[in-house]
Amino acid sequence: MFLAVQKSEFRDGVTVASCRLFLTALFSLAIGACQMGGGSASATPGLSDRGAKTLLRPESGPRHQLVAASSKGKGNRYFIEFRSRYALSYGHSYVVFGRMSPSGKMINPEVAGLHPASDSVIPYMLGHIIPVPAETGWSDGDLEDEYRSAYWRVMLTEREYNTAVAKIRKIQGRSHFWHAGVYNCNAFVASIARSMGYKTPSIYLMPQDFMTKLRKMNGGPNAIGTTGPPG
């Protein structure tokens, strides 16, 4: 992966102690960058106010044409789920999509989410300062329900689903970089939601708060989802 740190890079006059000092300073810069967002008090790239656990009921309002009239119809065996999960940092927002069995079990679900293209923490930290190469697929924990912090699931017909997936593929194809303050995981999900005709909240929220607000803003009988406990 890019920017992989090898021990040999620090041999010529750079001690392990100075390396640690550099990473500490860089982390401080990252935290500072996180606190420079506009909007609400929690206007930090990828952050939220970690509200109490609540089940948000659907609100009345117009629905987009891609939203099926009922999640119980025979044709509604396809879905897209806008989801956030817990993590050691801010959390992560992404979408899960695929087919669903009559019992409500996901069948071979796919994941689309923007994140740095590395398992190293260094690109993630640098991404608070400059854009870093990104991936737009699955990451560890995305499909584990115990890590899910909030979600909004929409049931679709096969035709609606194919249209939505085509738009997701197009957005994935043009999303090559991640930056905490410019194009983060919330911004990626917002691009998908807008392509389906939905209203979207500020990208400068924690993923859990972003997902909860996305669900509330769009309402309708298909505003199915919950918000988990904080933290």
The answer as to whether 4 is a domain residue is no
Q: Which residue has the higher pLDDT, 49 or 88?
A: 88
On the question of pLDDT at 215 being above 60, the answer is: yes
Contact 33, 181 (CB under 8 A): yes
- 167: burial class by Cβ within 10 Å (0-12, 13-18, 19+)? middle
- Output phi, psi for 68, to 5 deg: -70, 155
Q: Is residue 40 part of a domain?
A: yes
Residue 231, domain member (yes or no): no
pLDDT value at residue 81: 97
137-192 per-position pLDDT tens digit: 999 899 999 999 999 999 999 999 999 999 999 999 999 999 999 999 999 999 99
- Answer yes or no: is pLDDT of 223 > 80: no
Please, which pLDDT band fits residue 6 given cuts at 50, 70 and 90? Answer: very low
Q: What is the predicted pLDDT for the residue at 221?
A: 63
In a domain, residue 5? The reply is no
Angle between helices 158-174 and 185-195 (to 10 degrees): 140
Range with the poorest average pLDDT among 32-41, 101-110, 170-179: 32-41
Among 152, 83, 149, smallest CA distance to 112 is for: 83
Task: Look at residue 2 and tell me if it is in a domain.
Answer: no
- The structural domain count of the chain equals 1
Whether 224 is covered by a domain: the verdict is no
Enter the pTM of the model: 0.69
Tell me if 127 is assigned to some domain. yes
CB contact at 8 A, 3 and 131? no
User: Residue 89's Cα: distance from chain center in Å?
Assistant: 13
Beta-carbon contacts of 122 under 8 Å, excluding residues fewer than 6 positions away, are 3, 5, 23
Query: Regarding predicted confidence, which is higher, 33 or 211?
Result: 211
Whole-number pLDDT of residue 104 = 86
- Structural domain contains residue 140: yes
198-202 own/partner pairs: CB under 8 Å, 24+ apart: 198/64, 202/39, 202/40, 202/43
Of 32-46, 77-91, 129-143, 209-223, where does mean pLDDT reach its minimum? 32-46
Which one is predicted more confidently, 65 or 91? 91
* % of the chain residues with pLDDT over 70: 66
Range of the structural domain that residue 167 is part of = 10-218
Confidence of residue 29 (pLDDT cuts 50, 70, 90): very low
User: Is residue 210 a contact partner of residue 43, using CB atoms and an 8 Å limit?
Assistant: no
Q: Is the pLDDT of residue 83 over 90?
A: yes
Residue 46 pLDDT: 34
Mean pLDDT within 87-104: 92
How high is the pLDDT of residue 74?
55
Q: Is the pLDDT score of 2 beyond 80?
A: no
